[in-house]
Amino acid sequence: MKKKLIVGVDLGGTNLKIALLDNSFRIVHKHTHQTERFSSPQSLIGAIIGAVEYVIAHHCLKARDILGVGLGLPGPIDFDRGIVHFFPNIPGWKNVPLRNIIEKKTRMRVAVDNDANVMALAEYSLGAAKGSRNAVCLTLGTGVGGGLILDGKLYRGSSYAAGEIGHMPLNERGPSCNCGGRGCLESYIGNRRIMQQVRKAFGQDIPLEEISAMAYRGNKKAVALWDSVAGHLGVALASVVNLLNPDCIVIGGGVANAGRILFDRVADTVRCRAMPVHARAVRIVKAKLGSDAGMIGAGLLVKQ
């Protein structure tokens, strides 16, 4: 019997990425579409279905050759019912039963989950957390997203909303956060906040890659900036580590590209601030699958 293939879809605020995956979740083919031009949920759903059908037809496959379609989505999802509650960065979505809609149209099995969970699944199954039992996966970008693998399984929480590492408070009287809380990690190290600090330190916008390069060349302001990011992140991770005692923390997303200058200091802070047993148990590593993680993780949903 021919082994079935899987379609993995990674929907973001800017791009819709779609991959055909083989049985070992290797990418056979991938394709990127822009999402911004789809102004309504209907048109975006149409585009998703169109992209899925295109990738299948392009490989001369039929629906019966496909084990299923997985989607990683940028917002809170009811995993069991396959409903999108809303997307913070794509307007017009409210409690859309996306799984059912796509299942009906494509006559294939569909699974949906949020992007942080999907990234965690991918890094745990095939990436930087492979072989671990308890892994905490973070994405550092505009927001700070998190996914938790506990006792070898994705942990979703009671309303599918677990993993909000970006909204763990670092200071009781810290700055107000959009979430309603105060002193949240994201309000210290979200991309926007880092860019504010860049403007303050350098008097202009400079891309983060350049700030990293400057730091590696010894620029003191650039080093101080990464020290500050790593310090805040390290304290938040010390908290996570003391609570969950994971063996692996995977950090991905644009900010993670800073590399050693970020990771070394984060590891130092965790070593200093977490309890010794907990600090010894955990390794802190860079995500391995990069921008493919979303598509691969979405594919993994189908086999869950």
Residue (33 or 85) nearer to a copy of itself, CB:
85
Least Cβ distance, residue 29 to a copy of itself (angstroms) = 35
Q: Applying CB under 8 A, which residues contact a copy of itself?
A: 76, 132-134, 146, 148, 150-151, 153, 155-165, 167-172, 179-182, 231-232, 235, 238-240, 242-247, 272-278, 280-282
Nearest Cα to Cα of residue 56 among 20, 88, 14: 20
C-alpha to C-alpha distances, 205 to 76, 152, 187, 214, 222, nearest whole angstrom: 32, 42, 19, 14, 13
What residue type is 61 in one-letter code? L
Q: Which residues, 6+ apart, have CB-to-CB distance to 161 below 8 Å?
A: 76
Least Cβ distance, residue 4 to a copy of itself (angstroms) = 29
Phi, psi angle pair for 282, to nearest 5°: -110, 140
CB atoms near residue 199 (< 10 Å): 12
In this structure, are residues 118 and 297 in contact, taking their beta carbons and an 8 Å threshold? yes
What residue type is 214 in one-letter code? M
Burial class (CB in 10 A: 0-12, 13-18, 19+), 283: middle
